Amino acid sequence: MKLNIIKQYAYQTLKADTSGHDFYHVQRVAHLAQNLWNIDHQPTTNDVLIAASYLHDTIDEKIVTSSPQALKRVTKLLQTAECAPSEQEQILTTITHMSFADNLAHHYQLPLIGQYVQDADRLDALGAIGIARAFAYGGKQNQPLYDPKIKPRQLTSHSQYRQHPTTTINHFYEKLFQLQDTMNTAAGYHLAQQRTIFMQEFLTKFMQEWQGQI
């Protein structure tokens, strides 16, 4: 597999993003997914896992104007990059079924490599970088920082997740604090717990300052 072709495609597709889904995000996901993999398996580079990590946001509706067209481009890319048919299947199944929104109404069982990529992607939504990405995305979507009149909601469908009125602070309750319980791997769960505690402490401090407490 020619990973350099895949990485270059991801760079060209994501380099201009300012919502927290840029090239550096997928690069972090690739590194973290490989590290999680090495904990449970023989420490060797897993090209399929890395390819899926770099490509997972190149078909995302938040990034591209047409997800179906983007998926066609990625499918052709994998052939150009000399991915075997079995590798293509694992990558495409992973990137089309791993998102939080797509799993609200129905939980998809991912291939083994997809479980590590999904954990790494969700871990990058937690902790210090997760906080920064949340506010970057909220600003990109013109969401209020916080509005006490807009309450967090229990989300049950893809359309509701994308279209309901919300705030960046609500996003912590509607998605981010739920992620630790969706981890596929033991190492991912442990790290998610640590990063979630950090975010909870941040939110406690945020609310104190919002209310004018010294």
pLDDT bucket at 161, cuts 50 / 70 / 90? confident
pLDDT per position as a tens digit, 29-47: 999 999 999 999 988 889 9
- List, in order of start, the domains of the chain with CATH numbers: 3-211 (1.10.3210.50)
Model confidence, pTM: 0.94
Note the helical H segments in the chain: 3-14, 23-40, 47-55, 67-80, 85-97, 112-123, 127-140, 158-163, 168-174, 186-210
pLDDT per position as a tens digit, 91-123: 999 999 999 988 888 889 999 999 999 999 999
